[in-house]
Homo-oligomer: A and B are copies of this chain.
Amino acid sequence: MIIDWKKISNSIYTGIKQKIERLEKKPILGVILVWEDAVSLRYINQKRRFASFVWMWFAFKQLEKNISEQKLLKTINEFNEDRNISWFIVQLPLPKHLNSKKILSTINPKKDVDWFNPINMWKVLIWNDSWLVPCTPAWIMELLNSLKIDLVWKNVTIIWRSNIVWKPIAALLINAWSTVTICNSKTKNIYNFTKESDIVISATWIPKILKLDMIKSETIVIDVWFSIINWKVFGDADFDNINIAWIKITPVPGWVWPLTVAMLMKNTLKAAIWLWKI
């Protein structure tokens, strides 16, 4: 079975929209862009489109590519302090002359989208506080929730490449009492782990790495990203050879982005309500 992400993502968007309709003020999602490249602009326009769909405002600030660190930090601080801006992101990648680590840690934790900020990571990891969960782990949890999966007693294998993804998702699943194995490209006998798993989360960007015989029946396969090779889109799962009749799998391409942005909107709404309260 291919997981019906459209249904899941529509219900999330509808939920957000209904909540915003009842608000007197609209939340504002901010985006700071340094470096005007086509890909970043496309991403930003998609975010703008999704935001308008749920009746959320959009504050966009574009800065020249050779901006000084000091000037960028000044803009970030303006966004940090502006009570109208509920939440904002600094679009990555940044030009090389800027220190990403320093810049990202300047963002107000209450308005921070990612785990580049220590406070938010700390809340989720140590205190099991799900206040602001980064978008990718957030949609994975939302998806499992929509499928009505009881995470207790479940074995989960995460095949990762990026630090930013496995750590929060592993923490959220372990906090929910799943048993989690984190594999990497140097794992021996990876089959032993995937074969025992009820849920396999793959985020390697290596096309077709997840084969039919690695997965047992009834497993939920979450294929987190995709790779593009010769204009063709590939997931981590080897779709041609996976019998989708006996597993549940997320489709590639196209499904990740709407869910990721939905989480962005959800977090922005949460942050807005929080900001207005104080």
- Residues of A at under 8 Å CB distance from B? 101, 115-116, 118-119, 121-122, 125-128, 152-153, 155, 163-164, 166-167, 170-171, 174, 177, 179-184, 186-190, 192-193, 196
Contact = CB atoms under 8 A, between A and B. Distances in A.
A101 to B, nearest CB: 7
Contacts of A121: 118, 121-122, 125-126
B196 A164 contact: no
15 contacts: A115-B126, A116-B126, A118-B118, A118-B126, A126-B164, A166-B174, A170-B182, A179-B183, A179-B186, A179-B188, A179-B193, A181-B181, A181-B182, A182-B182, A192-B196
Contacts of A163: 126, 128
Contact of A179 (B115, B177, B182): B182
B177 A186 contact: yes
9 closest Cβ pairs, A-B complex: A118-B122, A181-B181, A118-B118, A179-B187, A177-B186, A179-B183, A180-B182, A118-B119, A152-B186
Q: How many copies does the complex hold?
A: 2
A126 to B, nearest CB: 6
B184 A181 contact: no
B118 A153 contact: no
Contact of A177 (B115, B116, B126, B184): B184
B181 A174 contact: no
Contacts of A152: 186
A171 B260 CA distance: 25
Contacts of A186: 152-153, 177, 179
Nearest to A198: B188
